[in-house]
Amino acid sequence: MSKNILQYAMGLLIIAFLWCVQDASALVTEIDSDIKTETTWIKEDSPYVIKRDVYVDAPLTIDPGVIVKFDYNVGADLIVRSELNVIGDKNDHIIFTSIRDDSFGGDTNNDGNLTVPKPGDWSEIRFQVGSIGTMEYVSVLYAVGLNSVRGAITIIGTNDVAIRNTEIRYSGYAGILLSDSSPIIEKNIISNNGVGVMLFGGKKAVMTYNIIADNRGGASVMGTPTSFDQLDARNNWWGDISGPYYERGFYGGVEQENLDGKGNRVNYGVRFDPWLDKEPTDEDVGCQENCYSSVLFLPGLKASRLYDKLESTCPYDADNKELVWEPNCNEDVRGLYLDSDGKSISSDIYVKEGDVIDETPIGSNIYKSFIEKMDSMKNAEGLINDWKAASYDWRLSLDDILADDSIEGKLRDLAANSKSGKVTIVAHSNGGLLTKALMIKLGDEEVKKLVDKIIFVAVPQVGTPAAMAGLLHAEDQGLFPVLSMKNARAFGENMAGAYNLLPSEKYFSSVQTPVASFDIDSDSDFKDRYSSNIDSYDEFYNFLIDDFHRVSATCSEMDIPIGLNWKLLEKSKSVHEDLDNWTAPEGINVIQIAGWGVLGTLSKAEYTNKKEDYCDEGICVSGMDTLDPDFKFTIDGDGTVVTPSALWMSEERYWVDIAKYNSPLNRIGTLRLFGTDHADILEIPELNSFVADNIANNLKPIEEYKYVTTEVPPSSDEKRLEYSLHSPLTLELYDDQGRHTGINSSGQIEEQIPGTYYKQFGDVKYIFANEDISSHIKMNGYDEGVFTFEVKEFIGDEEINKVTFKDMPTTPETRVAFAVPSDLENASSLEIDKNGDGTIDFSLEPKIGEIVILDTTAPVTNNSLEGKLGDNSWHTTDVKFSLSATDEAGGSGVAKTYYSLDGGETLIEYLNQIIFDQEGVFEVEYYSIDKQGNVEEKRKTTIKIDKAAPEVKLTFDVTAKKLDILGMDNLSSAVSVTTTEEEITDSKSLNNKKNKLFWFLDKFKNQSKNKITVTATLIDEAGHKTEIIWEKKKDKNNRVDISIASISYNGNILPINTGILQYKWAQNWKKKYLFFASHINTDSMRLESHYFAKKNETWLMEKPMEIVDDESDDEFTRRPAWKKMQGMIIPSIMTDAGKLKINY
């Protein structure tokens, strides 16, 4: 049940299906042999399944409540040759039916819905000649087939059989077939058969005070009747006040007819006149005083206890292990899940007679006071003969609930035993919809015979928005703390009973407030998907069944709506077309009672859009555009049902001022721990008295019923507050006395503070309170995320002020506090202890009419570099480095900026510009912190400074046997090298052509004097350029001989005075060096070296000399060396800032 949607919306929802169904065959008693000894069939062994023709050759007694099913595969008979006593109870019939009939004893043949019962599924109960028997309060269903000349009950050659108060239906041929028998046949219902009663043979038979209706034929005497009254059928009801249809024939010796008869047909030999003009009832002496009607009570959604034959997996009552509603764990609820057609997955769920919820396991009274009042009217006061609470499986559709006729049966039984001969129906919540469906099923004429008054208490006649929120998002109902929100929504997804509580088409014609509205971003996927306001049923229907960016019912993201079951929505639409247009027949008094003044009556859902990351059914999405709900409330309701729906009809209307009843002074005076709302409205004593006096036709002046009025109660001008929280935190309210409203440690909703209410739809929590309560709000985190906390101030339903704290950070350790000691203008700051360490991390002052945003965004720091930029991001001069940080608009502002030059080992607060004047590569880390403590993620930048051009190394490439030019730079990893050669010729010699011979000789002579100049250009990564120029002195094989002329750095030319480099070498045919000689002469040093292959030594010679062409090893070995080294050493020239140095 639920404190607030206890009867509809299921709040709606709850719980997942029983995954496995027990084999029904293990629960039956099979009869495949004859009865040879005296035998009794008991209810506990039901159902009994007759597998073949069974002969009763010894007395057989069948106890009340026993179900007997016949296997249609064999067309079994029960053939009585001895004695059969089948005596049920008025409220507990004995059933004979088909094994296909799942409405009694469940799915005995274990085929689900694959087969349904039909006439001819079994044969007959046959009393043979000489047998005796009594059948009373029995139901005989789906017997003999169309073409089989038998009856559901066939009596042959015996007068010792009595059939009373028995219903015989759905026989393909005859309901009762008599052959030479005169049994007692009275007070039975013989309906929906081929022929009601059929008589063979010459013996007369009598039947009286039976209902013979809706058969293809009412009564028939076969063959040639021996008299016009061979079957005396006077004083029976034939289905119409006009009597049975009878064509022209002799009746009592006179030719007669009853062509105007609209009842079942009879033929000659059936005496039918006089007939009853209404269905027969038990005769009584007539009521002399206190002639008040008996009472049938129809409770609301979730207000009947449900049981599972397989037993609860977590029973809280060791003596009642089959009880699964009220649930003691989520598994109980999952066992109650339904399929997409709204049918129970488990066939083992059942209700117990009259077992409605008086109080919940946590001590909340629901119908306890009402039950005590009805018991008192019956027993102590003697005002009524009887009353019954009709427990029912509220999960199902109204048709399915009424299908077994058990509620109708209770109504008829109560009427039969009533002092007035009629019944007053009291219906709470969903019970009112069930009442209307029952009235429609019965029809106006029948209703007028059975009912005198209907009292609707808090009935959502045309639906209520709370059902929408409950089905789409789930409602935390608090009465059953074990029930999770996720299971609640999953339970409601296929619950036909909950769908009937949704606003119907008629709702939109009577309530002006849209049930939903949308404020969607212009770039959202939802833009233009829905109208801005849903104020018509077609828009509402399309919104409910839409599956665009919806989640499954079992998804833990409760704020994201699910798409509803379109089949059940269609069904509820059809149901309301009948219910909403129903009017009470003339003479039936309808009294409507609505609860009023409960602050948390949901009136509207307001949706915006937001991006969400979530997982659903194993699929995870990131940044999905989803709908985000907020809910609006009104005082014009009882916490669940809005008043216009509860007072939909034009009949008598009454309001119950629950706000006044729940006032602090009244609650303290009556010592009530809990406030009252929709679920337990019948716990209000004054309302119970008002209902009782209506039953007893003893209504006092309305002023004597405190809290009950004939007009809308005046709205108080006192200010009230609505606290709402969107977040993964709890929402708790305490007053100065330490009383609490919210969810307690057991998961139960507590409303200890008078005048307060707690609601939760999806992940959005609400507390409603009067402003004169000194309120202390506490919130405790249970997950990572952000929260929005809002406080609205109202007078009546008019919002006058609002404070909003938006997008505050939370963790499982977060603790938040807020207080309203007197009014919203004097509210405290919102204090957030983010880590739960007792230190307030954020304290935010409320701003009336404004949104307070916690700066949760770190500042952004940018750098700038000043200096000459070369190639590849290299600077070629000093660099000035600056940092600047900014916080977001409306943020708290930048507090400090830090940088590090050693990878974060040392942090330095940035105060002024930094100058990098050394060459190198510098990694700078930096970040900023704002005044709210948000720390920026560290950023990095690289500063590369290279101020110098590359240097040159001239050496010998022993592999390529040529001069090798290398670039050297201590910063750049790569230096490019290119060379160009230019030949410079003596122009005077070339122009002397007076004598061709002399010109040629002159040319040949001067050619040897032409100069070959080589320019080597080196460029590093920064773009610095070095050029070195030399002249080739000799250009011969196995010899290098150059003279360096100049070197320039970035265009700055530096002349070289002395720069001689000579290499000479020889190799054998194996390419091994036989000798290698070098000579280098610079301004600062001169070097001569010789490599002797035989010795594998290189000598550095004293008194270095240039290398000449005809020198040999022998000559050098005779010269002194100042240094001898192993191996072949290659001396080289290296530049250094314009100087030449020798390297070896």
* 567 three-class SS: helix
**pLDDT recorded at residue 248:** 66
Q: Is 70 exceeded by the pLDDT of residue 286?
A: no
**pLDDT tens-digit series, residues 555-579:** 999 999 999 999 999 999 999 999 9
Helices and strands: H and E segment counts in the chain = 19, 76
The first and second tokens of residue 6, run together, are 């206890």
**For residue 409, which of 92, 116, 773 has the smallest C-alpha distance?**
92
Rounded Cα distance, 677 and 599, in Å: 10
Q: Is 90 exceeded by the pLDDT of residue 870?
A: yes
Q: Is 60 exceeded by the pLDDT of residue 866?
A: yes
Rounded Cα distance, 185 and 163, in Å: 5
Rounded Cα distance, 465 and 508, in Å: 11
Strands 306-308 and 323-325: antiparallel
Provide, rounded to the nearest whole percent, the portion of the chain with pLDDT above 70: 93
What residue segments make up the domains of the chain, in order of their start? 39-208, 719-853, 860-945, 951-1143
**pLDDT recorded at residue 2:** 35
Strands 976-984 and 1011-1019: antiparallel
Q: What is the mean pLDDT of residues 618-626?
A: 93
Q: Picking from 194-208, 323-337, 993-1007, which range would have the lowest pLDDT averaged per residue? A: 993-1007
**pLDDT recorded at residue 201:** 80
**pLDDT recorded at residue 890:** 72
**pLDDT recorded at residue 688:** 95
**pLDDT recorded at residue 912:** 95
In which residue are the tokens 């971003």 written? 521
12, 148, 195, 200, 234 from 231: Cα distances, Å: 57, 22, 14, 10, 9
Q: What is the mean pLDDT of residues 514-530?
A: 94
Res. 138 pLDDT band, cuts 50 70 90: very high
649, 1009, 1014 from 987: Cα distances, Å: 126, 11, 20
Q: Is 60 exceeded by the pLDDT of residue 986?
A: no
**pLDDT recorded at residue 74:** 76
**pLDDT tens-digit series, residues 525-540:** 999 999 999 999 999 9
Res. 915 pLDDT band, cuts 50 70 90: very high
In which residue are the tokens 């997950």 written? 783
Res. 413 pLDDT band, cuts 50 70 90: very high
**pLDDT recorded at residue 26:** 45
Rounded Cα distance, 938 and 898, in Å: 10
Rounded Cα distance, 726 and 473, in Å: 13
**For residue 950, which of 930, 916, 980, 977 has the smallest C-alpha distance?**
977
* 1122 three-class SS: strand
Res. 202 pLDDT band, cuts 50 70 90: confident
Cis before 460? omega within 30: no
Q: Is 80 exceeded by the pLDDT of residue 654?
A: yes
Q: Is 50 exceeded by the pLDDT of residue 392?
A: yes
Output the pTM of the full model: 0.56
In which residue are the tokens 């009424």 written? 402
Side by side, which strands form the sheet with 815-820?
749-751, 740-743, 732-734, 775-780, 815-820, 830-833, 842-844
Containing H/E element for 916?
Answer: strand 914-916
Q: Is 90 exceeded by the pLDDT of residue 1114?
A: no
In which residue are the tokens 């991001």 written? 873
Neighbouring residues of 1139: CB distance < 8 A, sequence distance ≥ 6:
1082, 1083, 1084
930: left (phi over 0), alpha (psi -120 to 50) or beta: beta
Res. 944 pLDDT band, cuts 50 70 90: very high
Containing H/E element for 402?
Answer: helix 398-402
Q: Is 60 exceeded by the pLDDT of residue 300?
A: yes
Q: What is the mean pLDDT of residues 912-916?
A: 96
**pLDDT tens-digit series, residues 463-500:** 999 999 999 999 876 656 557 888 899 999 999 999 99
**pLDDT tens-digit series, residues 830-849:** 999 999 999 998 888 899 99
Containing H/E element for 163?
Answer: strand 161-164
Q: What is the mean pLDDT of residues 151-163?
A: 94
Q: Is 70 exceeded by the pLDDT of residue 249?
A: no
Q: Count the neighbouring beta carbons within 10 Å of the beta carbon of residue 436.
A: 26
329, 314 Cβ separation under 8 angstroms: yes
Q: Is 70 exceeded by the pLDDT of residue 1?
A: no
**pLDDT tens-digit series, residues 754-788:** 888 999 998 899 999 988 888 899 999 999 989 99
Q: Is 70 exceeded by the pLDDT of residue 1005?
A: no
Cis before 274? omega within 30: yes
1093, 1080 Cβ separation under 8 angstroms: no
862, 866, 867, 936 from 898: Cα distances, Å: 12, 20, 22, 10
Rounded Cα distance, 926 and 908, in Å: 9
Neighbouring residues of 954: CB distance < 8 A, sequence distance ≥ 6:
963, 964, 965, 966, 1028, 1042, 1044, 1061, 1132, 1133, 1134
Q: Is 50 exceeded by the pLDDT of residue 11?
A: no
- CATH 2.60.40.10 is held by the domain 860-945: yes
